[in-house]
Structure 1
C-alpha cells in the first residue's frame, strides 16, 4: 500500500468513520428527543382524559343510587317479573337522563334497556331485604360520542373509543374496525395519518373492556426532526470540509518530504553513498534527514568490515560443522545443518528429507526459506542423487539446486555399501553456486551424515534399555515407569487408566513337553498378538516369565475388559508350527485380569495388585477367561 493510500485510509478511519457514526447517533437522538417530547404531551392529555372518565363514572354512580332505590323496580325484581322490570327501567332512563341500565341475574342480563353503545357504567350488587343477592346493576350516563367530543375540546387531540375491536366513537370519522392500540406509547396509522398514541383501559358493561386512546399527529414532530437534522448536518459538513482541507495540506507536505527520502535511498541503493537528504526546519523529519545522512556516511566504512566478516563467517561455519557429530537430536540437527548450508551457500531456500527404511519414501523433516519457485529443481536434484548415489547439481528453469546424500555408516563388510538414509538440498534462482559455496555445502552435509548415525546408535541403545529382547515388548523397568506416569496423569486430569495383565495357561507344560525353543516361540507369537491389538498410545510390556501386561491410558474398566477379551480370543485362534501328539498344530490360551485407576485402585502398586488378583481368580476359575478387579472386590 502506497504512502498516499495509507494517509487516505488514516483520514477515513479518524475523520469520516467517526463523523458517520456521530451523524447516525446525533440524528437518532434528535428523533428520539422530538418523539419523547410528543409522548410527554400525549401522556399529559391522557391524564386529562382519565379525569373526564372519572367524572363520567361519578355521574353514573349518582344515577345508579336512584335506580337502586326505586321501589317499583325492586318489587318487579323480587317478583321475577322481567317485563315489569324492563318497563320501569325504561321510565327511569327518561326521568334520570340515563343512557343505559343493565341488570344481570346469574350469567345473563335480566334487564337491558338503553343505548348499547353507552360507556363507563357504574356497577353495584343488588340484594334482598334479608341480604340475599338478587343480581348486579350497571348504569351509564355517558355516550361515547359525547365523551370523545369533550376530550378533544379539552385536550386538543383526537380520540378513539374502542370496544372489542370495534370503534364506538372517534373524532377522525374512521368508524369500523379499530387499529391495534399498544399499551405503551407508540406510533399507529389511522385514516392514512400517523399518530403517537397513549391508551388506557376501563371496564364496560357485562365485563367488556373499553380502550380509550388519545392521538397526537406526528406531522409536526417530523417537521421538527427534519429541521434539527438539517442544522446538525450543516455543522457536520462544515467540520468535514475543514478537516479535509487540513488533511490535504498535511498530506502534500508529507509526500514532498517522503519523496526526498526515497530519492536519496534509491541513490544509495545504486551504490552512490554520497547521496544526501535535503533537510529544512527543525521538526522530526529534519532530524530523520540528518540521521539518514549520517547513516550513508557510515555505510562505506561498514562495507569493508562486512567483507572481513564474511571470511570469519566461513571459518565459523566450518567449526559449527565439526560440532554436529556430537548432536543427538536428529531433526534439530538437520534443521541447523540446513539453515547453515542455506546461509553459507547463499541459497534462497532448501530442505532436508529422510527415510526410515531403504524401501520407504523420503519425507521432509526440515525447511529453510520459501520453496515456492524452487521445488522442481530440488526434486530433480534429489532424484539424481537417489539414482547415482552421489552428490548432484542441476539447473531447471533458471533455478540451480545442490543435493547431497546422507548415508548410514557401514558397520561391517557384510552390510554392503552404505545406504542413503536422507538428502540435504538447497537451491537459488539466477546465479549458479560458486566452487567455494559448493565445497562448504558438501562439507556440512557430510558432517550431518556422521551426526545422524550417532543419533541412530544413541536411539538404539535407549530402545534396548527399555525393551524385552525376546518379545520386543517394553521390559518391566519401562512398564513401571510408564504406569507411574499414567497414574499421576490420571490423578491430575481426572481421566481413567486401565491395566490388563495376562498369563499364558499351562506354559510350563509347553516348555517341559516341547522344549524351551518352543516356549520362546509361544512367547513371541503371544507378544505379537498383544502388540497388534494395542493402540499407539497403549504400552504393552513383558511383566515377567510368561506374564504380560498392557497399560491403557484414558480407558475405563469396560474398555479394558473389551480389549482383554479381543486379545484372549486372538490368542486362542493361534496355530503354532509345533506338532502335538495328535499331529495337530500347538494351540495355547491365556487368562486375563483387568483393573483401572481410580475405579479399582488408588496408586500404581494397588493397581498392579488388583489386576494380578483378578488374573489369579481367572486362573483358578477355569482359565482362558477375563476377570475384572471389581468382581474380585465383590466376591
Structure 2
C-alpha cells in the first residue's frame, strides 16, 4: 500500500498535475482548479467559476464545463474551438468531492473532421457505386453526355429508364446487388447502367425509341418479379419506372430530370407497370 500524502503534498500534486482539472463539492459548486485548467481557459474565467454550480453560472462562457456531458466543446475569446473529453473521480472523506479532468481532444476532432471531408471529396470524385459496382450518378452523367451529343449530331433515338426497385422483406444491399446483376444480364453491351443518387437504377439505351424502352421496362419488371420468387421465395420485390425519350433540346441533365418526373408520376399512380413516355 502506498503511503498517504499529507495535505501539502496532495495540494501540490493537484496544482502541478499536467491535466486541467476542477474540484467540485457535493452540491456541484466549484471549489478550485489547478494551473493547467487556468492555462487552458484563462485565470480570470477560471476564478469566476469558484463558488458557483452549473445552475448558478447563467451565461458564464465556461458553464458547459460544469455540466454532466462526457465530451464538451468550448470556444475561447479568440473564437478558437476547443473539444474536451471529461473524466471524473469521487473523493470520499469528511466532505465528498468530485474531481473533473479535462483531456484536450481538439487535435483529434480536427483530424476526424478533416478525414470526413476528405472522404466526402473522394466520394464525389469516384465514378462507381460501392454497393453495386455500377456507375454512380456522376459517372453516368459523364458517360451520358457523349451519347446525347451523338443523338444530337445524327438525330438518332435514345431513351432513359429510371427504375425504382423495392421490397419490404429483402435487405436493401442484397436486393440492389441482385437487381444490378439482373440488369447487366438483360441489357445490351452498348447500354449504360447506373445507380442514381436516390438509389434508383438508371438505364441509358442508345438507338432505342420511347416505345421500345417501354416494352423493355415491362420485360424488366417481369424479370424483377421472377427474381423475387426464385431468389427470395416470396415474390416480394416490386419495380416501377419512369421512361423518357431523347428530344432535340435535351442535354444529359434535362433528360434525367424528365425521367425522374416520369418516375414520380408512376410512383404516385401506385403501379408496377412502366410509366408512359
TM-score, length basis structure 1: 0.23
Q: Secondary structure at the match of 1:467?
A: coil
Matches of 1:538 and 1:525 in 2, distance apart? 18
- Counterpart check, 1:475 vs 2:136: yes
Q: Which residue of 2 aligns with 1:559?
A: 212
Residues 605 and 465 (structure 1 numbering): CA distance in 2 closer, same or farther, change over 3 Å? closer
- Counterpart check, 1:493 vs 2:154: yes
Q: Which residue of 2 aligns with 1:549?
A: 202
Matches of 1:540 and 1:578 in 2, distance apart? 22
Equivalent position to 1:603, from 251, 260, 268: 251
- Counterpart check, 1:525 vs 2:178: yes
Structure with greater helix share of residues: 1
Q: Secondary structure at the match of 1:495?
A: coil
Contact 1:504 1:588 survives alignment (8 Å) = yes
Q: Secondary structure at the match of 1:544?
A: coil
Q: Which residue of 2 aligns with 1:591?
A: 240
1:399-548 to structure 2, matched below 5 A, reads: 465-505=126-166, 507=167, 509-510=168-169, 518-548=171-201
Contact 1:504 1:590 survives alignment (8 Å) = yes
Structure 1, residues 334-378: CA drift from partner, whole Å, max 9, x if none?
xxxxxxxxxxxxxxxxxxxxxxxxxxxxxxxxxxxxxxxxxxxxx
Q: Which residue of 1 aligns with 2:260?
A: 612
Q: Which residue of 1 aligns with 2:68?
A: none
Q: Deviation of residue 591 (structure 1)?
A: 0.3
Matches of 2:137 and 2:251 in 1, distance apart? 17
Q: Deviation of residue 483 (structure 1)?
A: 1.4
| Structure 1 portions without partners, runs of 5+ | 1-463, 630-635
Contact 2:194 2:202 survives alignment (8 Å) = yes
Q: Note the aligned Cα RMSD (angstroms).
A: 2.3
Q: Which residue of 2 aligns with 1:624?
A: 272
Matches of 1:499 and 1:612 in 2, distance apart? 10
TM-score, length basis structure 2: 0.51
Residues 597 and 577 (structure 1 numbering): CA distance in 2 closer, same or farther, change over 3 Å? closer
Over 6 Å off, 4+ runs: 576-579
Q: Which residue of 2 aligns with 1:430?
A: none
Equivalent position to 2:226, from 573, 580, 605: 573
Structure 1, residues 524-552: CA drift from partner, whole Å, max 9, x if none?
11111111111000001111343111111
Matches of 1:543 and 1:627 in 2, distance apart? 18
Q: Deviation of residue 603 (structure 1)?
A: 2.1
Structure 1, residues 254-303: CA drift from partner, whole Å, max 9, x if none?
xxxxxxxxxxxxxxxxxxxxxxxxxxxxxxxxxxxxxxxxxxxxxxxxxx
Matches of 1:477 and 1:567 in 2, distance apart? 24
Matches of 1:577 and 1:470 in 2, distance apart? 22
Matches of 2:259 and 2:276 in 1, distance apart? 8
Q: Which residue of 1 aligns with 2:59?
A: none
Residues 488 and 592 (structure 1 numbering): CA distance in 2 closer, same or farther, change over 3 Å? same
Q: Secondary structure at the match of 1:589?
A: strand
Residues 484 and 556 (structure 1 numbering): CA distance in 2 closer, same or farther, change over 3 Å? same
Structure 1, residues 373-421: CA drift from partner, whole Å, max 9, x if none?
xxxxxxxxxxxxxxxxxxxxxxxxxxxxxxxxxxxxxxxxxxxxxxxxx
| Structure 2 portions without partners, runs of 5+ | 1-124
Contact 1:574 1:587 survives alignment (8 Å) = no
Aligned length: 153
Could you say which structure has the greater relative contact order, defined with CA pairs below 8 angstroms and 6 or more residues apart? 2
Highest Rg: 1 or 2? 1
Residues 591 and 494 (structure 1 numbering): CA distance in 2 closer, same or farther, change over 3 Å? same
Q: Which residue of 2 aligns with 1:182?
A: none
Contact 2:226 2:235 survives alignment (8 Å) = no
Contact 1:533 1:563 survives alignment (8 Å) = no
Matches of 2:239 and 2:213 in 1, distance apart? 16
Residues 607 and 545 (structure 1 numbering): CA distance in 2 closer, same or farther, change over 3 Å? closer
Contact 1:499 1:550 survives alignment (8 Å) = yes
